[in-house]
A and B are shown apart, each in its own frame.
Chain A
Amino acid sequence: MRIFLVTFLLVAMLSPVTAFAKDFGNGVTLSEETAISSILDAPADYVGKKVKVSGLVIDVCSTRGCWIYLAGDRDFEKIRIKVTDGEIVFPMEARGKVAIVEGVVESMVLTREEVIKRRKHHAEEKGIDFDPASVTSGETVLRIRGLGASIDGV
């Protein structure tokens, strides 16, 4: 009985936390990697396609961990990785770590009102000010619908 209890407790405590901490969702299966700059330069070539990208995690959704921003391979560029709430939850510790992400490229055409709503929500999450007047028109947003990821050191 004692051996059973000790074994049970060890399995329960150790297996979930230490063994599976680095992979998220379906993990990463594609072999070929696509540069984020290639997607940003020619989005039409990639929309609807499954890609594998990698980059530095520069921001994480601070409420649900439901998105991350990956830095591009060129200066000043980034791309948003959105995942289904609850299916994948990125930890805040991912900031500053390199992530490999697999997902489908999406393009969304947003009206001005939708842009305001999104930015207002983002500003509330970040605790920063937002002036709706700063948005003058709608925009097209390019993002990756994340299906799996692998992040070292989290």
Chain B
Amino acid sequence: MSWRRWNYLLHRDIGFLCIGLTLIYAISGVAVNHIQQWNPSYSVERVETNIGPVVGNPADAATALMILARLGEPGKLESSYRPDRNSLQLFVEGRSITVDLPSGHVVHDRAIPRPVLREMNFLHLNHPKKAWTWFADLYAVALAFLAISGLFMLRRKTLRRGLVLTGIGVVIPVFFLILYL
């Protein structure tokens, strides 16, 4: 079998292997690019309400449970913190409930993981580290192979167009480097 045939077969099969990861990196890449405007992994909901003045010892678990009862909060109380003398912060199943005790003003913060996107970002940003780092490196090598092997798949009638487009692809990042660096 000729080297061109090998090049074609490897390009095709490694390309198939890379489809899943490329989609993950592409989608997550767009999401993470705009991290200044939004949290790509969570949507944070903030609800304010009033349950009336709270009387009782803030350090007492009974006071915390009374607040949850007034809120109609069915979740289990995990922990609590006193930011100052007049406030109590309760944690219920990953949510934060901050109560101003004299006024009864409540701020309920809830972070909801964005389905699928959170997992994609987890992988793309290499949060797992360790074994995933090596796998991601392997993927990067595979991408480099696809880019280079693609050049050797040019045929005579598409050679000129291929070289021009490849050149544009190299010039674009250089242009932005000159512009912003």
Knowing A93-B94, A96-B96 are in contact, say whether A62-B39 is a contact too (CB < 8 A).
yes
**Which stretch from B84-92, B140-148, B150-158, B173-181 is at the chain A interface?**
B84-92
Q: List 16 A-B contacts (CB under 8 A).
A: A12-B135, A19-B131, A20-B128, A60-B111, A62-B42, A62-B111, A65-B41, A71-B81, A76-B82, A78-B81, A86-B125, A92-B41, A92-B94, A93-B94, A95-B95, A96-B96
Verify if A58 is at the interface (C-beta below 8 Å from B).
yes
Knowing A58-B81, A62-B111 are in contact, say whether A15-B94 is a contact too (CB < 8 A).
no
Verify if B14 is at the interface (C-beta below 8 Å from A).
no
A16-B130 Cα distance, complex, nearest whole Å: 8
Pair A64/B35 contact, Cβ less than 8 Å = yes
A92-B127 Cα distance, complex, nearest whole Å: 14
Pair A76/B111 contact, Cβ less than 8 Å = no
Pair B111/A96 contact, Cβ less than 8 Å = no
Contact of A15 among B78, B125, B127, B131 (CB under 8 A): B131
Which residues does chain B contribute within 8 Å of A20, judged by CB atoms?
128-130
| Mask of B35-79 contacts with A, CB within 8 angstroms, 1/0 | 110110110101000000000000100000000000000000011
A71-B135 Cα distance, complex, nearest whole Å: 37
| Mask of A113-136 contacts with B, CB within 8 angstroms, 1/0 | 000000000000011000000000
Contact of B91 among A12, A15, A96, A127 (CB under 8 A): A96
A78-B87 Cα distance, complex, nearest whole Å: 14
Contact of B44 among A12, A17, A62, A93 (CB under 8 A): A62
Verify if B83 is at the interface (C-beta below 8 Å from A).
yes
Verify if A140 is at the interface (C-beta below 8 Å from B).
no
Closest CB in chain B relative to A24 CB, distance in Å: 9
Knowing A86-B125, A96-B94 are in contact, say whether A15-B82 is a contact too (CB < 8 A).
no
Contact of A63 among B35, B125, B129, B135 (CB under 8 A): B35
A63-B78 Cα distance, complex, nearest whole Å: 24
Verify if B132 is at the interface (C-beta below 8 Å from A).
yes
Verify if B122 is at the interface (C-beta below 8 Å from A).
yes
Could you tell me which B residues sit within 8 Å of A by CB distance?
35-36, 38-39, 41-42, 44, 46, 59, 78-79, 81-85, 89, 91-92, 94-96, 111, 113, 122-123, 125, 127-132, 135
Verify if A79 is at the interface (C-beta below 8 Å from B).
no
Which residues does chain A contribute within 8 Å of B82, judged by CB atoms?
75-76
Knowing A63-B39, A92-B44 are in contact, say whether A16-B125 is a contact too (CB < 8 A).
no
Pair B123/A92 contact, Cβ less than 8 Å = no
A12-B96 Cα distance, complex, nearest whole Å: 34
Closest CB in chain B relative to A19 CB, distance in Å: 8
Contact of A89 among B79, B85, B127, B132 (CB under 8 A): B127
Pair A95/B91 contact, Cβ less than 8 Å = yes
Contact of B128 among A17, A71, A78 (CB under 8 A): A17
Which residues does chain A contribute within 8 Å of B35, judged by CB atoms?
63-64
Which residues does chain A contribute within 8 Å of B129, judged by CB atoms?
20
A113-B94 Cα distance, complex, nearest whole Å: 34
With A75-B82, A95-B91 given, name 9 new contacts (CB 8 A): A12-B135, A20-B128, A56-B79, A63-B39, A75-B59, A92-B42, A93-B111, A98-B79, A126-B46
